[in-house]
């Protein structure tokens, strides 16, 4: 891409990256050395979670955001997985709830106490089993409070209803490993990139593939929805093995709208999009640079702004601190958490819009997605779209019509009033506003039973697929055999004791 200086008027043309000082960073963290292409880190307004290097299974550390500085070497961990942890994500509506997935084929949901951990946590709130191979990706639904998506190396995406703790849908349209997942703003569409070189747009409730593109010239690695702009952005590799980005129309994936080369480096490009400011950030794995652009609906579509440079390479970025966790007074519009493996360091990087005024900058902080879900899991699964109904009711009210009780609308056809639809429940950041969340996360009481999705029992006779899985099954069976032998021996001893007591009773009874 030719980075020509531009004089286009933009309120974000002077955005700059500010690295936190040493006291505000997190030191002494044994960051995982796993080479899986994930961020290995997640953050919300309360906690920073980082996947760590550990023996005997997978683990991650959860640190309160305010507890920066050097970490104690014996700091407690979340260590319930039997294999390496591959992905972690915070629930967007319950800030103490985090989900993790692992090479042990499980997805687990944990509840972190306020103030962080005081001892190792081994018991999860929910243990979800359904994949036959390791699970590499998890994503929370952006508007529903109890829906979790997981993608495994069995080429399947499972949709979990956490209200019952079971998978309720299996999306089985991929022919290879799923590389990334991304939702649009209301969660009605799911975009995936896959190792089979195809980009897909899926309707998650039905599992139907709405659009599909075969990316031969642009090998897609990561995909991200660009808010409500009806656009997708992908990062990947061109036919000349250069890193490039491509912009797509979500209603027509036959050809990308724009394809632009970035550079000739080999590290994976992670895209991050801020729907409030329409800014796109590109961070490369293995290098220390972060490029940022402004996305528009007109040509040239992607307007290059600036580049944050650092000589220290990054393993991953925790990505997006939720907007209600930013420093509004300092005009902070985005915050990254950079993992530096060699130093065991997590370094916050704030993207700041320079402003002279000390007043609240309403133009860079519009109404944003808050911490209240628009739908429950059961409502979303039944097809209810509360935002569509509320828009319908508002429009009727504007014309003096009294709306009746809201029916269970199943994706109604709305065209004239589509511009007023806002599925996420929005909040204002003025005066660091935080709407109190009255919801309480309740884990279901589960019983051991079969898991049947689309007529297939996911837990019945799942064969090991890799040598590590085979070894885990072997050692588990050896432990079970050892336990059964000990139990059998103790029962044999007890039987002999009872036989002796019976013989004694028989010998004593004739004398009486």
Q: Is position 89 within any domain?
A: yes
- The span from the CA of 124 to the CA of 112, in Å, is 10
- The span from the CA of 250 to the CA of 201, in Å, is 8
Is the confidence at residue 364, as pLDDT, over 70? yes
Is the confidence at residue 5, as pLDDT, over 80? no
b/e sequence 209-220, b meaning 16+ C-beta within 10 Å = eebebebeebbb
In which domain, by residue range, is 292 found?
16-352
Handedness of CA 169, 173, 179, 184 (dihedral sign): negative
The residues, ordered by sequence, that sit 6+ positions from 43 with a Cβ below 8 Å of its Cβ are: 49, 65, 90, 318, 319, 320, 321, 325, 337
CATH, residue 51: 2.130.10.10
For residues 41-60, give the mean pLDDT: 89
The pLDDT, as a whole number, for residue 462 is 56
Is the confidence at residue 8, as pLDDT, over 60? no
320 compared with 337, residue with greater pLDDT: 337
For residues 266-271, give the mean pLDDT: 87
For residues 168-195, give the mean pLDDT: 94
216 compared with 353, residue with greater pLDDT: 353
The pLDDT, as a whole number, for residue 369 is 87
Is the confidence at residue 82, as pLDDT, over 50? yes
440 compared with 112, residue with greater pLDDT: 112
* Residue 402 pLDDT class (50, 70, 90 cuts): very low
The pLDDT, as a whole number, for residue 127 is 94
Q: Is position 408 within any domain?
A: no
Q: Retrieve residue 306's tokens.
A: 């600036």
234: β partners: 223, 246
Q: Is position 454 within any domain?
A: no
The pLDDT, as a whole number, for residue 116 is 92
The pLDDT, as a whole number, for residue 158 is 97
The pLDDT, as a whole number, for residue 401 is 38
Q: Is position 381 within any domain?
A: no
The total number of structural domains that make up the chain = 1
Q: Mean pLDDT lowest for which of 148-162, 325-339, 469-483? A: 469-483
Is the confidence at residue 253, as pLDDT, over 50? yes
H or E element that contains 203? strand 198-203
pLDDT in tens, 16-39: 999 999 889 999 999 988 888 888
Closest by CA position to 424, among listed 364, 373, 367: 373
* Residue 313 pLDDT class (50, 70, 90 cuts): confident
The pLDDT, as a whole number, for residue 49 is 95
Q: Is position 422 within any domain?
A: no
- The span from the CA of 488 to the CA of 331, in Å, is 69
Q: Mean pLDDT lowest for which of 72-81, 134-143, 209-218? A: 209-218
The pLDDT, as a whole number, for residue 463 is 58
Backbone φ and ψ for 479, nearest 5 degrees, come out as -65, -40
pLDDT in tens, 131-158: 999 999 999 999 998 999 999 999 999 9
Q: Is position 402 within any domain?
A: no
- The span from the CA of 342 to the CA of 209, in Å, is 42
Q: Is position 449 within any domain?
A: no
Percent of the chain scored above 90 by pLDDT?
47
- The span from the CA of 368 to the CA of 321, in Å, is 13
For residues 160-186, give the mean pLDDT: 94
Q: Is position 376 within any domain?
A: no
The pLDDT, as a whole number, for residue 432 is 58
The pLDDT, as a whole number, for residue 391 is 40
For residues 444-453, give the mean pLDDT: 61
Is the confidence at residue 290, as pLDDT, over 60? yes
The pLDDT, as a whole number, for residue 234 is 95
* Residue 203 pLDDT class (50, 70, 90 cuts): very high
Percent of the chain scored above 70 by pLDDT?
81
Is the confidence at residue 422, as pLDDT, over 60? no
Q: Mean pLDDT lowest for which of 183-197, 376-390, 406-420? A: 406-420
236: β partners: 220, 244
The pLDDT, as a whole number, for residue 288 is 83
């Amino acid at each position: 891409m030719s980075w020509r200086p531009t004089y286009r008027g933009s309120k974000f043309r002077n955005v700059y990256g500010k690295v936190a000082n040493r006291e505000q960073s997190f030191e002494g963290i044994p960051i995982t050395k796993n080479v899986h292409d994930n961020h290995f880190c997640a953050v919300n307004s309360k906690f920073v979670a980082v996947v760590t290097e550990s023996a005997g299974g997978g683990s991650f550390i959860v640190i309160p955001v305010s507890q920066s500085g050097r970490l104690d070497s014996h700091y407690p961990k979340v260590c319930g997985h039997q294999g390496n942890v591959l992905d972690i994500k915070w629930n967007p509506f319950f800030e103490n709830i985090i989900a993790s997935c692992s090479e042990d084929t499980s997805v687990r949901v944990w509840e972190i106490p306020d103030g962080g951990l005081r001892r190792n946590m081994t018991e999860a709130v929910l243990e979800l089993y359904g994949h036959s191979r390791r699970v590499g990706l998890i994503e929370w639904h952006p508007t529903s409070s109890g829906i979790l998506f997981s993608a495994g190396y069995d080429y399947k995406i499972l949709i979990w209803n956490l209200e019952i703790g079971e998978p309720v849908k299996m999306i089985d349209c991929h022919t290879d490993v799923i590389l990334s997942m991304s939702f649009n703003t209301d969660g009605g569409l799911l975009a995936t990139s896959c190792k089979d070189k195809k980009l897909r747009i899926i309707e998650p409730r039905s599992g139907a593939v709405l659009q599909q593109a075969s990316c031969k010239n642009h090998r897609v690695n990561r995909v991200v929805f660009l808010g409500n702009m009806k656009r997708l952005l992908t990062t990947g590799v061109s036919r000349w093995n250069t890193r490039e980005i491509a912009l797509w129309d979500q209603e027509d994936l036959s050809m990308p709208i724009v394809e632009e080369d970035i550079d000739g480096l080999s590290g994976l490009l992670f895209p991050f999009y801020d729907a409030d400011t329409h800014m796109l950030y590109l961070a490369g794995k293995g290098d220390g640079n972060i490029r940022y652009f402004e996305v528009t609906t007109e040509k040239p579509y992607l307007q290059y702004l600036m580049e944050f440079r650092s000589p220290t390479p990054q393993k991953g970025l925790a990505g997006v601190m939720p907007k209600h966790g930013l420093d509004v007074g300092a005009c902070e519009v985005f915050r990254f958490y950079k993992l530096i493996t060699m130093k065991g360091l997590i370094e916050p990087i704030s993207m700041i819009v320079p402003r002279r005024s000390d007043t609240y900058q309403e133009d860079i902080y519009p109404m944003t997605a808050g911490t209240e879900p628009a739908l429950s899991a059961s409502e979303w699964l039944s097809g209810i779209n509360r935002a569509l109904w509320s828009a319908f009711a508002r429009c009727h009210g504007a014309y003096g019509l009294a709306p009746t009780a809201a029916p269970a609308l199943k994706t109604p056809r709305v065209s004239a009033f589509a511009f007023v639809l806002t599925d996420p429940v929005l909040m204002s950041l003025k005066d660091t506003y935080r709407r109190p969340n009255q919801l309480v996360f309740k884990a279901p009481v589960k019983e051991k039973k079969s898991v049947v999705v689309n007529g297939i029992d996911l837990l019945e006779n799942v064969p090991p697929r890799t040598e590590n899985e085979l070894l885990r099954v072997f050692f588990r069976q050896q432990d079970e055999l050892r336990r059964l032998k000990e139990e059998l021996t103790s029962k044999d001893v007890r039987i002999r004791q009872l036989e002796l007591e019976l013989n004694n009773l028989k010998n004593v009874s004739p004398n009486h």
